Structure formats: structure tokens, C-alpha cells
Chain A
């Protein structure tokens, strides 16, 4: 039973941390929503031990808490994938900004010569 208690405590602390980060504007609301959802699900699931055991039985998992880890891990993968998509977009945007700036700089230098 220890793992369920630990899981409830961790989920609660995690939720507090996310809310505090949003309050301090260290985390955008749009990204925090996913984390809040995640900790809420973890919180509820940790309370309903029978629910976890029911799913475990359905999936043929002998060690019920492994279900918690499975979903936690899957969520992490999904979130990291999302982040690399964001990084790809940001990289493209930064490159285009750099290129535009470089061309503008050259034109400005040309204007300076004509004055």
C-alpha cells in the first residue's frame, strides 16, 4: 500500500509546484494545463486503488502499481514528443528571423552609403 500513499503525496506536491510556477509566470498556462491534467489524473487514480487493480486485471498485469508507472511513462513520452515539435518550430522561426535581419542589415548599410 505504501506506493499508493507515496503516489498521492507526489501527485499533490506536483500539482502545487505546477500552480506555483504558473503564479510566478515561469510556466505558460497553455503548457501548465497538460501538467495539471496529468497530476489530477495521477491524484484520482492513486486514491482509487480498486480502479487500478481493475484495469490491471483487465490487462493481465499481475503487479497492479505497474499500471501507474506505465501511464506515467506514456504521458512523459507524449509530452517530450510535443516539446521536440515545439523546438523544431522555434528553430525554423529563429532561422527565418536571423535571415530577415541579415538582409535588412545589408540594405541599411547600403542606405547609409547613399546619404
Chain B
């Protein structure tokens, strides 16, 4: 099974080297691609020095466009499994084998903080948002999800193709689950530990989180009622 680890990175020079080293230690057989989304710091040089392949976008396209570049690469290069992982050290590499093993039986495996009790703790506001989105997605898809905002995921070939074709531009995690369910993908969650970020700071500010809630809710509802044109042409 050809496996690719996709790490989208925007100004992550402080943590990228550690993340790459951890991946090497726990899944030496997997290839690593860092999608450098127009960083203005030394992210590209550091990732290359650590032996990772780097795709450098000429300007900052945002998390959705960056992540899709990784999936597009996985699709073109014929990878069977693509794992997406944050560059800030939130997602521990020791959980990778667990995700990759499950990805043989499912189209998408989501690393969840909440399936079982893990040591992850977050602010109350953040928890409310997560409970809201879990409820919304569970309602719309008819499948129970505990951690819809998790960006720690392993995708099989079917999902690689679908994500290369369409991926939401910003705040993509929640909507991309609904999109896959609509396309008839089998999705599961596994319990994974998550760390606090090791360097840099979260991009979510209070105003942005209001926009985030509204935008994602609209996107999820629209995705749920969208007429599926491609399903007719692609069996």
C-alpha cells in the first residue's frame, strides 16, 4: 500500500522539523509531502533539509486549497492511502499506524478526541462549537460523529479522487464529511490522543469563530441538499 502523509504548512518553521522526524520514526514506509502554502518564513528550507518533499504554492491559497493540492498530488502519483496531519504538532505520529491500518477497511478514518476518553481538554466555547457541529453532521448524514472538526484523517483511494475533485476552500473539515457521505463513502472514527500545539498560534479569533460557525453551518446544509450531478456520470 503506497502511503502519503500530507502536511499543509503556513509559517510553521518552529514545529515542522519535529513533526517530520516523528512521522519517520513511526511510519518509515510512508512518503511525506509538505504543502508549503506561501510561507514567509523558513518552513520550506527546514522541511527540505529534513528530507521531506515540499510543494510550494506561489501565494497563500488558504487551508482548503493547500490541502487539496496534497490530495491532487496523491491522486496523480497513484497513492492508495493519504493521511492529512497538522504541521503544528497537534497530531501525534504514534497514532498514524492505527489510522492507516483502519483505512484499508474504510474510505475515510477520522482521528477523534472524543470516541473514548482521551486526555485532550479544550475551552468551553470550543467544546460547544464541536458539540454543535457533531449534532448537525450526525443529523444530516444519519451517522454519529464525535469529532467533526478533527483534521487528523486517513483517506483511501476513493476519497483521494473525490477530494482532488472537490474540497471546501476554508474551514473544510466539517463540510468535507457531509460531501463524502453524500457520495456514499464509508467513514469511521478512531480514538486518538491530541496534543496542544507546540509552536505558532491558532488562526481562530472570536470574530472569525462567529463567521466560522455561520459559514460552516450554511455549507453543511447546502451540501446536504445539493443535487448530485457527478453521481450520474461517474458510476
A residues apposed to B, CB below 8 Å: 91, 95, 98-103, 105-106
User: How far apart are B123's CB and chain A's nearest CB, in angstroms?
Assistant: 32
What interface size band does chain B fall in? 10 to 19
B72 pairs with A99, CB closer than 8 A: yes
User: How far apart are A104's CB and chain B's nearest CB, in angstroms?
Assistant: 10
User: How far apart are A113's CB and chain B's nearest CB, in angstroms?
Assistant: 12
**Separation of A106 and B57 alpha carbons in the complex (Å):** 10
Give every chain A residue within 8 A of B207 (Cβ-Cβ): none
Nearest B residue (CB) for A91: B169
Main secondary structure of the interface of A (DSSP, over half): helix
Give every chain B residue within 8 A of A103 (Cβ-Cβ): 55, 69, 72-73, 76
6 more A-B contacts (CB under 8 A) besides A99-B69, A106-B54, A106-B73? A91-B169, A99-B57, A99-B72, A102-B57, A103-B72, A103-B73
A95 pairs with B56, CB closer than 8 A: no
B residues apposed to A, CB below 8 Å: 53-59, 61, 65, 68-69, 72-73, 76, 169
19 A-B residue pairs with CB within 8 Å: A95-B61, A98-B57, A98-B58, A98-B61, A98-B65, A99-B57, A99-B65, A99-B69, A100-B72, A102-B55, A102-B56, A102-B57, A102-B58, A102-B69, A103-B76, A105-B56, A106-B54, A106-B55, A106-B73
User: How far apart are A94's CB and chain B's nearest CB, in angstroms?
Assistant: 9
User: How far apart are A62's CB and chain B's nearest CB, in angstroms?
Assistant: 40
User: How far apart are B62's CB and chain A's nearest CB, in angstroms?
Assistant: 9
A101 pairs with B58, CB closer than 8 A: yes
Ranked 3 nearest A-B pairs via Cβ: A99-B69, A95-B65, A102-B55
**Separation of A105 and B57 alpha carbons in the complex (Å):** 10
**Separation of A106 and B72 alpha carbons in the complex (Å):** 13
**Separation of A98 and B61 alpha carbons in the complex (Å):** 9
